[in-house]
Amino acid sequence: MIYTELKNWEEIKNLLEKENDIFLLGCNGCAEVCETGGEKVLQQVKEKLAKDGKNIAGTLSIDFLCNKTLIVKRLHRQVSDWQKATCFLVFSCGIGVQCAAAVTSKPVYPATNTISLGGFQGLWPGQERCAQCGSCYLGITGGICPITYCAKELVNGPCGGAKNGKCEIKTDKDCGWALIYERLKKTGKWEQLRELQAPRNYKKMEPGPDLRKNIHFSIDLANKGSLQKG
């Protein structure tokens, strides 16, 4: 499971400051388990945004937001709703946000941060990757992760070594920031690149003390069950 936490309300409000008609897109997979996705959370956020004067064009919860084919099929059923929206607010892990951005033509903003629990998180066949950095940048980079798409993990634009749109280090791959620029230009949000990002706080990658306590409890419980079976 990939663990997510809701961003604080002020950060969500800042991300949506210039948006008026918002479509809420949630994941019924890992995010619902973490209580950061699913119908209940979407309705709660819908009410809070309405109180802030935002119009909610519609809501949709999808079983697995990391499945791009499933996103396209489900969005097709509500095309009249989301086409009226100026953006999507997405409740899922970083991979789900990236998948939503890849199949839509509107700006996509993450409502959550993905937190690292350590260990192996499973295999993902798509090109989307989430570093579980605890401070999701996808709302300002067009749904393309600057941590996983940029070999140097830069958060304030490209380095000086990129050439012809290719990465200086991994020369067979596209420069992540070239991809970000093209996506932002496509969605009319390229001016977001003028916003300077603070240096990364790597402590945000770590789970908080309460979450660590729960993780250790779950591991101990699982180990006890294995011993009993043995």
The answer as to whether 159 is a domain residue is no
- The CATH number of residue 214's host domain is 3.40.50.11860
CA distance 48 to 210: 26
Indicate left, alpha or beta for 51 from its phi (over 0: left) and psi (-120 to 50: alpha): alpha
Chunk the chain into consecutive blocks of 10 residues (it has 230) and report each block's average pLDDT, rounded to whole numbers: 92 95 96 93 96 96 94 95 96 96 95 85 76 94 96 94 92 95 93 89 79 54 46
Buried/exposed code over 154-164 (b: 16+ C-beta within 10 A; e: otherwise):
ebeebeeebee
State whether residue 137 is helix, strand or coil. coil
Alpha carbon dihedral 37, 43, 44, 49, in 10-degree steps, equals: 110
Q: Read off the pLDDT of residues 64-103 as tens digits, 9 standing for 90 and up.
A: 999 999 999 999 999 999 999 999 999 999 999 999 999 9
Residue 161 lies in a domain: no
Structural domain total, the chain: 1
Whose CA is closest to 136, among 152, 159, 116?
A: 116
Q: Is residue 17 part of a domain?
A: yes
134 domain-assigned: yes
In a domain, 99, yes or no: yes
Range of the domain at 223: 3-117+124-146+177-229
Residue 151 lies in a domain: no
CA distance linking residue 6 with residue 115, whole number of Å: 11
Q: Look at residue 204 in the predicted model and tell me its pLDDT.
A: 85
pLDDT of residue 220: 47
Determine, yes or no, domain membership for 166. Answer: no
Residue appearing with tokens 């996506």: 183
Contacts of 218 (CB under 8 A, 6+ apart): none
Confidence (pLDDT) at 213 = 65
3-state secondary structure 152-215: CCCCCCCCCCCECCECCCCCCCECHHHHHHHHHHHCCCHHHHHCCCCCCCHHHHCCCHHHHHHH
Q: For residue 182, what pLDDT is reported?
A: 95
The confidence score (pLDDT) of residue 209 equals 73
| Stated pTM of the model | 0.88
Is 171 within a domain? Answer: no
